[in-house]
C-alpha cells in the first residue's frame, strides 16, 4: 500500500465538547488502512469518553499508529517517542497525566522491544487487537505496561462501536472501508504477512452494513481497503463463492453511493470478474493501483512475486481493453539484492511500456525477519540512489503527461473540501487527481461537470460547465 504520514482529523470532539473529557491525539504513519484503523480506534475510545484533539500538547493520550514497511518509518516512530518522553516528564512534574501508546505494524513486529527502548510507553497494541485498546488503557492506569500483539481470536470489527451519523458526516463525503486484511503472498521484501497476519476477508454482511451506514450518513465515495484487497472472498447473497468483483457489483447497487475505488491489489488476483466490473460499473472509478515492483523476471522471481513482467503487461492490456480510460498507478523498488544495471533497465522499459498516471517508488530497505534480509549481493546505497533518481524522473514525466492529457476534457468531479480561494472548492477527478474549481453555487458532496483548463504540480484547474 502507498506510503503517507497523516494526522487523523478531529471526528469526535465536535460531538461531545465536555470539559472533563480525556483527549486523545492519534498520529498515523503509513498506508490508507492505518488511516482507517486510526479512525476506528478513535471510535473505540469515544465510547470510553475520549474526544480527539489535533495536537499532542493538548492530549491526555497520544497514540502513534505505526508502519513497518520501510526502516525509516520505524525510525520516525522512535524519534517521536523521544520527544513524547520529554513531554511526559514535564506533565508528570506538573501532576498531570500523559499516556503514550504505540499501535500498528511496528507494535506488532517489535512488541516488548518498544517498552525496552522507550520507558515512556504505556501500551503496545497490534493491528489485530486495537479493539481491546480501552481495556489495555485501564490496565495501564493501574501501573501495568501492556503489550497486546496476539492475533485476536474474536472478530475485532464486531467489537468496535458504530459511530452515529453526525460523527460520520463530520469526516467528509469520502470514506475508507476495510474489507480484507493480511497477505499470503510472502514477497521476500515485505513484512506485511508477519505484522498483519494471513489473509482474512470480512464477511459480506459486515461490509454491506458498514457501507450502508456510511452512505446513509452522507458518504458518496467509498474506497475498499486491504493489504491484498482483490484477494477478498466470501459467501454471496445467493450462497455461492464471491470475489471482489462480485462485491463491487453489489455495492454499486446501494442508492446514493456514487463512487467506488479499491486498493491495494496484487496482479495474481486480478480475475475476469473484477476486470468485468471495471467494464460494467459506472460507479467504479477508472483508476487502478496495481504494483509490479520491478521489470526484471529474475528480480521478480527473487521477490517471490509469482508473475513475470510479460504477464503483468498482458494483464494491463486486458484491463485497458475492458476500460480504455483507466489510469494506472504502481509501486516500484530499486536496488533489490543482486539487481544489475541491465535488470534496472528492464524496469525502465516496463514503465515506458505501461505508462503510469501516478506511482510510488523507493530504494530497497532491508526489513528484519523477511527472506530478503538474508540475501547477499546488497546493492550499494549510492547505486540505489542514482537508480531511484532516474526512475522517479521518468515516472514524474509520465504523471505530468497524463495531467496534460486531461486539459480540455469534460469530466465529473466529487466536491470534497473548500479551496484556498474564496468560493473555490476542491474535488476529485475519476483518476484520483485534486481539481480546483470556482463552484460558488455548489456544495461539498455535489458531483458537478467541469472542463479541465490547466495543470499544477499536484492538481488540476477547472471551470464549471452545465451538461
Give 312-351 pLDDT, tens digit per residue: 999 999 999 999 999 999 999 999 999 999 999 999 999 9
Query: pLDDT band at residue 152, thresholds of 50, 70 and 90?
Result: confident
Domains of the chain are 4-148 (3.40.50.12160), 156-327+338-351 (3.80.30.20), 410-464 (2.40.50.140)
pLDDT at 16: 38
Grid coordinates in use for 127? 493491528
Query: pLDDT band at residue 2, thresholds of 50, 70 and 90?
Result: very low
Query: Distance between CA 96 and CA 92 in Å, rounded?
Result: 5
Residues above pLDDT 90, as percent of the chain:
78
pLDDT at 118: 94
Question: Looking at 6-20, 109-123, 227-241, which range is the least confident one?
Answer: 6-20
Query: The dihedral of CA 44, 47, 49, 55: what is its sign?
Result: positive
pLDDT at 348: 98
pLDDT at residue 179 greater than cutoff 90: yes
Query: Of 262, 264, 265, whose CA–CA distance to 248 is shortest?
Result: 262
Altogether, the residues listed in the chain come to a count of 467
Phi first, then psi: give them for residue 60, nearest 5 degrees: -95, -20
Question: Looking at 148-157, 293-302, 353-362, which range is the least confident one?
Answer: 148-157
Phi-psi sector, 111: left (phi>0), alpha (psi -120 to 50), beta: left
pLDDT at residue 11 greater than cutoff 50: no
- pTM of the shown model: 0.89
pLDDT at 374: 82
Q: How far is CA 282 from CA 8, 13, 253, in A?
A: 30, 36, 11
| Residue pLDDT, tens place only, 277-313 | 999 999 999 999 999 999 999 999 999 999 999 999 9
Contacts of 5 (CB under 8 A, 6+ apart): 27, 28, 29, 30, 76
- Ligand-binding annotation for 406, yes or no, is no
pLDDT at 20: 67
Contacts of 330 (CB under 8 A, 6+ apart): 289, 290, 291, 292, 354, 356, 359, 360
Query: Of 107, 96, 86, whose CA–CA distance to 38 is shortest?
Result: 107
pLDDT at residue 13 greater than cutoff 80: no
Query: If you write DSSP's letter for every residue of 302-338 in order, what string do you get?
Result: HTT--S-HHHHHHHHHHHHHH-TT-EEEEEEEE--TT
Contacts of 211 (CB under 8 A, 6+ apart): 177, 222, 251, 254, 257
DSSP 130: G
pLDDT at 163: 86
Amino acid at each position: 500500500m502507498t506510503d503517507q504520514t497523516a494526522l487523523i482529523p478531529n471526528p469526535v470532539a465536535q460531538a461531545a465538547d465536555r470539559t472533563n473529557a480525556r483527549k486523545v491525539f492519534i498520529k498515523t504513519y503509513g498506508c490508507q488502512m492505518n488511516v482507517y484503523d486510526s479512525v476506528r480506534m478513535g471510535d473505540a475510545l469515544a465510547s470510553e469518553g475520549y474526544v480527539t484533539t489535533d495536537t499532542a500538547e493538548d492530549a491526555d493520550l497520544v497514540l502513534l499508529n505505526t508502519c513497518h514497511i520501510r526502516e525509516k518509518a520505524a525510525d520516525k516512530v522512535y524519534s517521536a517517542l523521544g520527544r513524547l518522553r520529554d513531554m511526559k516528564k514535564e506533565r508528570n512534574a506538573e501532576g498531570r497525566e500523559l499516556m503514550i501508546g504505540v499501535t500498528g505494524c511496528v507494535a506488532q513486529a517489535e512488541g516488548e522491544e518498544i517498552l525496552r527502548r522507550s520507558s515512556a510507553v504505556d501500551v503496545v497494541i497490534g493491528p489485530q487487537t486495537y479493539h481491546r485498546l480501552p481495556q489495555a488503557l485501564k490496565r495501564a492506569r493501574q501501573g501495568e505496561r501492556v503489550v497486546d500483539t496476539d492475533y485476536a481470536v474474536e472478530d475485532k470489527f464486531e467489537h468496535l462501536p458504530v459511530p452515529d451519523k453526525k460523527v460520520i458526516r463530520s469526516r467528509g463525503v469520502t470514506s475508507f472501508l476495510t474489507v480484507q486484511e493480511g497477505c499470503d503472498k510472502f514477497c521476500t521484501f515485505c513484512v506485511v504477512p508477519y505484522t498483519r497476519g494471513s489473509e482474512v476477508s470480512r464477511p459480506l454482511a459486515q461490509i454491506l452494513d458498514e457501507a450502508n451506514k456510511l452512505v446513509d450518513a452522507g458518504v458518496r465515495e467509498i474506497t475498499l481497503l486491504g493489504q491484498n484487497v482483490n484477494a477478498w472472498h466470501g459467501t454471496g447473497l445467493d450462497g455461492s463463492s464471491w470475489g471482489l468483483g462480485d462485491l463491487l457489483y453489489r455495492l454499486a447497487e446501494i442508492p446514493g453511493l456514487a463512487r467506488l475505488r479499491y486498493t491495494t491489489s496484487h496482479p495474481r488476483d486480478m480475475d475476469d470478474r473484477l476486470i468485468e466490473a471495471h467494464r460494467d460499473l459506472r460507479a467504479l472509478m477508472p483508476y487502478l493501483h496495481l504494483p509490479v515492483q520491478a521489470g526484471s523476471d529474475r528480480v521478480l522471481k527473487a521477490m517471490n512475486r509469482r508473475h513475470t513482467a510479460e504477464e503483468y503487461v498482458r494483464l494491463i492490456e486486458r484491463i485497458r481493453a475492458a476500460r480504455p480510460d483507466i489510469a494506472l498507478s504502481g509501486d516500484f523498488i530499486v536496488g533489490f539484492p543482486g539487481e544489475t544495471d541491465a535488470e534496472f533497465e528492464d524496469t525502465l522499459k516496463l514503465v515506458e511500456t505501461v505508462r503510469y498516471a501516478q506511482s510510488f517508488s523507493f530504494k530497497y530497505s532491508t526489513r528484519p525477519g523477511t527472506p530478503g534480509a538474508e540475501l547477499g549481493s546488497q546493492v550499494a546505497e549510492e547505486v540505489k540512489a542514482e537508480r531511484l533518481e532516474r526512475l522517479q524522473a521518468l515516472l514524474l514525466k509520465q504523471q505530468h503527461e497524463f495531467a496534460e492529457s486531461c486539459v480540455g476534457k469534460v469530466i465529473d468531479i466529487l466536491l470534497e473540501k473548500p479551496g484556498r480561494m474564496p468560493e473555490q472548492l476542491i474535488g476529485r477527478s475519476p483518476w484520483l487527481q485534486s481539481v480546483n474549481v470556482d463552484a460558488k453555487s455548489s456544495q461539498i458532496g455535489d458531483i458537478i461537470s467541469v472542463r479541465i483548463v490547466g495543470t499544477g504540480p499536484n492538481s488540476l484547474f477547472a471551470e464549471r460547465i452545465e451538461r
